A = this chain, B = another copy of it.
Amino acid sequence: MEKYAVLGCGVVGSGVVELFEKNKELIMKRCGKELEMGYILDLRDFPDRPYADLLVKKIDPILADPAVTVVAECMGGVEPAFTFVKQCLEAGKSVATSNKELVAAKGDILLKTAKEHNVNFFFEASVGGAIPIIRPLHKCLAANDFSAIAGILNGTTNFILNKMIKENMDFATALALAQEKGYAEKDPTADVEGHDACRKICILSSLAFGKHVYPESVHTKGIREVALEDVELCSSLGYNIKLIARVQRLENGKILPTVMPMAVEEDNLLSQVNGVYNAVMVRGDGISKAMFYGRGAGKFPTASAVLGDMIEEVQLDHTIPSQTWENVNSTDFIEDFSAFKAKRYIRTTAADAAVLREIFGELSAEKTTDKGEAVIVTEADLNAAQVARAAEALSQKGIKLLAEYPVLVS
């Protein structure tokens, strides 16, 4: 009988064990073979845990046991996860991981190692939790030339923005509530500043376009500065402010990955994704567009994705060629953020619509707020330099640009 091992017995790792035990018969049927738990590696002590006899503190017994054919890595962080995963692959064991930090930092190396040893390194759980997105991208949609991917890839920030949109809660109060409910960490930086979403769009970009995209190459802006009044004004114009992780391929062939708050049109389904849910919209020349929606985090949703990978891995006897990308040792294929263009939602101090038109051209929405400020949505796609020049032109007329958000067109 084949065995599996779990590295890291925290929330996700224990979820893998529990969900496997719960649905064991059904899972083995879908595997097409028998499978049982072999080892649980954790550096901590768990005296009262079930399966205490399976606990190990070193990777060696797992590497040495030929019955272990598949390993779930649920430790998080780059080390020691990277070393352990690489050793497992080199020992001829396939690995399934939920660790987005590991995939974003070391995916290229681990995919290469997997291929060299004719096993698989899968990471469905690393993006969008329970949402099937990795496998659909490289399998179901494999005939497509992709042009863009845009998603709500962080549940914590979506929960916070949702409270701002639906309940007029300000950022600080919504963050405190998210922490109270356990959706946000005590130190919420990785979520709130967009780093978590950044890692996920790196993974999707690498897979869709075939070259490793590192987090450092992605223009990343979080939601800490999103003002409640802009959330409300945007809504009144038919847009919801969402933290959008996105990659687009430009006409010059380069790709442009970004993470930032954007104003999303209400008839775009992404703007209707509420609470801690995640969603990803994919555009390709065959499908036009498709969207995937579900729980972006949580014990069993993430465990479900890890187990889905493990079930396919035990069925396979070779490396899947479609789920891979290269390290090209260059960022030439990534466009600089200065080339990013979009329609803009803009809020200024009191301003005449004619003046705003003179500076921004045609407007698709305009409104004077209760406080006498002006809000507009431009018809034209503007880049950051154009927005800066417009702010300067406004300033010369005594008008201050107070806020601006790029618009995600459906």
Contacts and interface: CB of A to CB of B under 8 A. Distances in A.
A274 to B, nearest CB: 8
Interface in A121-141: 124, 130-132, 135-136, 138-141
A287 B272 contact: no
A19 B141 CA distance: 12
A283 B353 CA distance: 50
Tell me which of A22, A140, A210, A315 has the highest count of chain B C-beta atoms within 10 A of its own C-beta: A140
A288 to B, nearest CB: 5
A252 interface: no
Contacts of A312: 139, 142, 322
A314 to B, nearest CB: 10
Contact of A322 (B210, B295, B311, B318): B311
Interface residues of A, number: 59
A116 to B, nearest CB: 15
Given A142-B311, A308-B141, A321-B32, A287 B269 contact: no
A23 B301 contact: no
A13 to B, nearest CB: 14
A67 interface: no
B138 A136 contact: no
Given A136-B132, A294-B291, A311 B27 contact: no
Given A135-B135, A315-B322, A143 B292 contact: no
Given A130-B290, A142-B308, A317-B317, 17 more contacts: A20-B143, A23-B145, A23-B285, A130-B288, A131-B290, A132-B132, A135-B136, A136-B136, A141-B308, A143-B307, A143-B308, A269-B273, A272-B272, A287-B294, A288-B301, A290-B295, A311-B322
15 contacts: A27-B142, A29-B210, A30-B142, A31-B322, A130-B288, A132-B132, A132-B141, A132-B292, A135-B139, A142-B311, A288-B301, A290-B294, A291-B294, A293-B293, A312-B322
